[in-house]
Structure 1
Amino acid sequence: MEHHYVSAVVWTGNRGEGTASYRSYDRSWDVAVPGKPVIHCSNDPLLGGDPGKMNPEDLLLSALSACHMLWYLHFASDAGIVVSGYEDNPVGTGIVEKSGAGRFTAATLHPRITVRPGTDIAAATALHDKIHGVCFIARSVNFPVHYEPEFLFEA
């Protein structure tokens, strides 16, 4: 079944001269999806972007983490594992080649998952192994995705 997603990316970095020179414009834009808040973005700070705004690398890594989380919650629910908290601090590793082209070489997810006391942690951990086969984002990237979960028990 094919389905489509829509977005509008609007460059906001014209300082009045457009791209008259390499330094005459900002690397900033807005992402607008109908009915959703606008996300103000900029280039990676390593490339002169605004560190206070999301950049493409932030967005990709966040999408990967969110997709993994949503599938984890689904599989946990199916398995009778009650999750009451989930947060992740993913880390993406990238390289810039001599040509100036960059790419991700790997990502590691670090989910902290809160479960009920008595939860089978081995079973809860094993759920992660199923996710890469179904997560839309993970199946779409061309770099390895690793995970290092930590489990906490509800107080």
Structure 2
Amino acid sequence: MSGTHNFDAKVVWTGNQGTGNTRYQGYARTWEVRTPGKPVIKCSNDPLLGGNPHLHNPEDMLIAALSACHMLWYLHLAHDAGVVVLGYEDDPVGHGESEPSGAGRFVSAELRPRITVAEGTDLARAEAVHFDISKVCFIARSVAFPVYYSARYVIA
């Protein structure tokens, strides 16, 4: 499993309203992710920048990817630690800043998973699993901002 990996996607701009981008207000900030063999994801710019609030934007997708990577590694490492996970959901939030020029960046992210574990679970062990994820999660190891988490546990 070691070595290099390629992750392919196809991004297609769908916002040409007949004249391309000849006028700044004359085109839509919409596109589709059309990865072969997978469902199409319709996307738009951030609503603060005039995008469609009903479509995913790059910032949504980055935070969702970070959360999903954390979840998948949590399930794996929890299994290895003997922690039985029965449910997992997260409401992650990315904290960003914008400069007067319009340039923006994430300054941090917080993962807020609600994890349902089996009765009798050692919650200290369940919590400790989070500390190892940043060492292995592809996305967490790739971002240039701190990622925090505040997990909540439900005993089932």
Shift of 1:34: 1.2
RMSD of aligned residue pairs (Cα, Å)? 0.5
| Distance in 2, Cα, partners of 1:95 & 1:23 | 24
Q: Which of 32, 41, 44 is residue 42 of structure 1 equivalent to?
A: 44
Task: Provide runs of 4+ in structure 1 moved above 6 Å.
Answer: none
CA offset digits 1:68-120 (Å, max 9, x no partner): 00000000111111000000000100000122100000000000000011100
5 Å-filtered alignment, 1:23-42, equals 23-42=25-44
| Distance in 2, Cα, partners of 1:70 & 1:34 | 23
Shift of 1:51: 0.3
| Distance in 1, Cα, partners of 2:99 & 2:92 | 23
5 Å-filtered alignment, 1:4-83, equals 4-83=6-85
| Distance in 2, Cα, partners of 1:153 & 1:32 | 40
Shift of 1:32: 1.1
Q: Which of 87, 90, 95 is residue 92 of structure 2 equivalent to?
A: 90
Counterpart position of 2:115 = 113
One-letter code of the match for 2:61?
L
| Distance in 1, Cα, partners of 2:34 & 2:75 | 27
2:69 counterpart SS class: helix
Structure 1 regions of 5+ residues with no counterpart? none
Structure 2 regions of 5+ residues with no counterpart? none
2:129 counterpart SS class: helix
TM-score, length basis structure 1: 0.98
Shift of 1:20: 1.2
TM-score, length basis structure 2: 0.98
Identity of aligned residues (%): 62
Aligned length: 154
Shift of 1:8: 0.4
